[in-house]
Structure 1
Amino acid sequence: MSAESHCALELLDIRCTFRSKDDAGQRYTAVADTTLRIREGEFVSVVGPTGCGKSTLLNVGAGLLAPSSGTVKVFGEPLVGINARAGYMFQTEALMPWRSARDNVMVGLQYRGVSDAEAAAQAEQWLARVGLSGFGDRYPHQLSGGMRKRVALAQTLVLEPDILLMDEPFSALDVQTRQLMENEVLDLWASKKRAVLFITHDLDEAIAMSDRVVVLSAGPATHPIGEFTIDLARPRDVAEVRTHPRFVELHTQIWNVLRDEVLKGYAQQRLKVA
């Protein structure tokens, strides 16, 4: 059996081209000729300069954006429409401010036709699993940033997705809360071994959490320019693993590939501002 047959998500020769809003005749290629495979149970992080197209690829994998060309496969089948086997955790949590933590976690189950009683029971179980037992009646404005992220994580995982798509979910958190959430995700991932596609600007975070790190070039027409296997032992504590000599070695190797692309990205951003 080929390696591809064990893939949860495949982005094959993906190209995404957009028409500029400023000039109807101008087209912009955000992603070009990109192939990315995530095997079942694998945790893959994608890093690259700001604005290079990382989130675009995540949206393609979620079925929220149809590529201009190329194919998306989910467990070997071509993706048509929304990826129903994926859960998407956004950079900004998509919590409804008028609903309690429990009700926010319940909502996806209710849309699927699960009874209110069963949905509430499952929501409470997941709130407990993310360390929020007893907080089900709190509203988002009554929770800290880290607690809201935990609710968002429970909201995503309660649907038992086979693939987890995460778009810089912890970037707005302080360092201590961020590390707690990273370890929480790793513990929950280890218990079910879902396929994870994780987008981050933080190279330390990518190495600490992943089985593989993919480096994207600066845009336009971003594409993978490096791929690194993270051969650090699991389970990992994201704070402790950073002191491991192999972590330092991997960081140096990946940064050597990423550094020039980051500088290109900054230069392009400055031109846009100017």
Structure 2
Amino acid sequence: MMQTMNQAETPALLFDNISCTFVSAEDNKQRHTAVAATTLSIAPGEFVSVVGPTGCGKSTLLNIGAGLLSPSSGSVQVFGQPLQGINKRAGYMFQAEALMPWKTAMENVTAGLKFSGVAPEQAAADGESWLARVGLKGFGDRYPHQLSGGMRKRVALAQTLIMDPDIILMDEPFSALDIQTRQLMENELLELWQARKKAVLFITHDLDEAISMSDRVIVLSAGPGTHPIGEFKIDLARPRDVAEIRSDPRFVELHAQIWAVLREEVLKGYQQQKTKA
């Protein structure tokens, strides 16, 4: 099922025919094209997930959208303007642990505000508000090592959203969590997103997660030279509970449709990983 964006609507984030090629540090004649000829747009307020085989270039795409990488060709636009340098309208939640271990939960959450010049009193008030929103009221004085994995992810989520970004970039943020904690975090994210409706580009290897959370799911090919090979509108009613929605007949139907496209690419990616090993 394909979805076409309203032509009058300016995308929050647009990848326009981008490619990204890396040169080997050992041999500058060796080149690896991670992303090839990819066009993808995310509308304001839209939740878009990208799925694909392991190592296909999903994170590369996200890093380009954040301005951490520049495409070798093509362009990136943010609300109609060319992206130059870091994407200041985006917040980035990483897969790996990104909290500063020497700072408390409150200090981690408010670090971005303080770097931006927000007065300490206002930063503290906003920090308390966001810790409460993610279920961590009263935990502001705890250090990361004193928090569970799920609690640390809540801190990271508050740290990202407190800056009120127009675009939220998320790189498999819940992949390391157990299934129960993961579903709690997914529902918390959806509740926060529903309240503010920011544009979200969500990278995941979990097809169930992608369908249960998204407005659209984009399927990428196996690398090298990954590119979109499928685009599916997720026409499930909102609000959603990510556990309950998976028993919905339409969810099952969408899963089968997307897996039919994704399965062959996952097998290709698996064979490539075996060859490298």
Choose from 221, 225, 228 the match for 1:221.
225
* C-alpha displacement of 1:20: 1.7
- Report the equivalent of 2:98: 94
For the aligned residue pairs, the C-alpha RMSD in angstroms reads: 1.0
The reply on whether 1:151 has 2:152 as its aligned counterpart is no
Distance across 1 between alignment mates of 2:266 and 2:26: 26
TM-score (norm 2): 0.97
In the alignment, structure 1 segments of 5+ residues that lack a partner are none
- Report the equivalent of 1:59: 63
Which residue type is aligned with residue 116 of structure 1? P
- Report the equivalent of 1:69: 73
CA pair 198-21 structure 1, distance change in 2 beyond 3 A: same
- Report the equivalent of 1:259: 263
* C-alpha displacement of 1:116: 1.1
The reply on whether 1:239 has 2:243 as its aligned counterpart is yes
Distance across 1 between alignment mates of 2:149 and 2:136: 13
Distance across 2 between alignment mates of 1:142 and 1:235: 33
The alignment of Structure 1 onto Structure 2 pairs a total of residues equal to 273
Distance across 2 between alignment mates of 1:49 and 1:4: 33
* C-alpha displacement of 1:5: 3.5
* C-alpha displacement of 1:4: 6.1
Task: Kindly provide the CA deviation profile for residues 96-120 of structure 1, in whole angstroms up to 9, marking residues without a partner as x.
Answer: 1010000000100000001111111
- Report the equivalent of 2:273: 269
Choose from 83, 86, 90 the match for 1:82.
86
* C-alpha displacement of 1:24: 2.2
- Report the equivalent of 1:210: 214
Contact 1:100 1:137 in 2 (8 A): yes
CA pair 256-224 structure 1, distance change in 2 beyond 3 A: same
Distance across 2 between alignment mates of 1:3 and 1:203: 29
TM-score (norm 1): 0.98
The reply on whether 1:122 has 2:131 as its aligned counterpart is no
Which residue type is aligned with residue 247 of structure 1? F
Identity %: 74
Contact 1:40 1:194 in 2 (8 A): yes
Contact 1:5 1:75 in 2 (8 A): no
Task: Kindly provide the CA deviation profile for residues 66-117 of structure 1, in whole angstroms up to 9, marking residues without a partner as x.
Answer: 0000110000101010000000000013111010000000100000001111
Contact 1:5 1:76 in 2 (8 A): no
Equivalent residue of 1:6, what SS?
Answer: coil
Structure 1 consecutive aligned stretches of length 4 or more whose deviation exceeds 4 Å:
none
Equivalent residue of 2:38, what SS?
Answer: strand
In the alignment, structure 2 segments of 5+ residues that lack a partner are none
Distance across 2 between alignment mates of 1:56 and 1:226: 18
Which residue type is aligned with residue 261 of structure 1? E
Which residue type is aligned with residue 87 of structure 1? G
